[in-house]
Copies of this chain bind each other. A is one copy, B any other.
């Protein structure tokens, strides 16, 4: 195993990677979507709780169901993206713990404690959303995540009758690097970090 990633990989994941809003007309197939999840699911969640639930919105019909719930500024790019992932989290994630964390009764840590359930689902579902974006970049895709949508509308349209809530959306595909804006400034280490 290499000790650290090479420069090209660090560029692809972090340093040169950008949020894309303009997509090339190249499809993203089932196998690639599965490969992204199969990487992301390996990364850590507390008690391996894996609360993230994914809907890969790709067909014209599914895109049309999503469209009315998008903020105005997110409509065109999302309709044009090869795939839009609805990144959700399941508030009943703890029912899976006997299978996912079998060596102790972790389900009992959560059942009946709604505040802890929501906090754990939202924290770990967001961690997993980040793993998803990094995994997509690792496999050559560009990503463009969004919080600008009507979560209640998306939940009613896609998650009715379930315990799943939408967290954020993420377009996936191959972006057009010629259409990028200037990058927003990043903080210095000393702005937000301290070594004690």
A interface residue numbers (CB < 8 A to B): 1-6, 8-17, 19, 30, 33-34, 37-44, 46, 48, 50, 52-59, 61-62, 90, 96, 99-102, 120, 122-124, 126-131, 133-135, 138-140, 143, 145-147, 167-168, 184-187, 189, 192-196
Which chain B residues lie closer than 8 Å to A39 at the CB level? Answer: 10, 13-15
A147 to chain B, nearest CB (A): 5
Tell me the complex Cα distance, A122–B73, Å. Answer: 24
Which chain B residues lie closer than 8 Å to A19 at the CB level? Answer: 44
Tell me the complex Cα distance, A184–B189, Å. Answer: 35
In the A-B complex, list the 5 residue pairs whose CB atoms are closest, starting with the nearest: A130-B130, A126-B126, A62-B196, A48-B184, A127-B130
Is the pair B138, A10 in contact by a Cβ cutoff of 8 Å?
yes
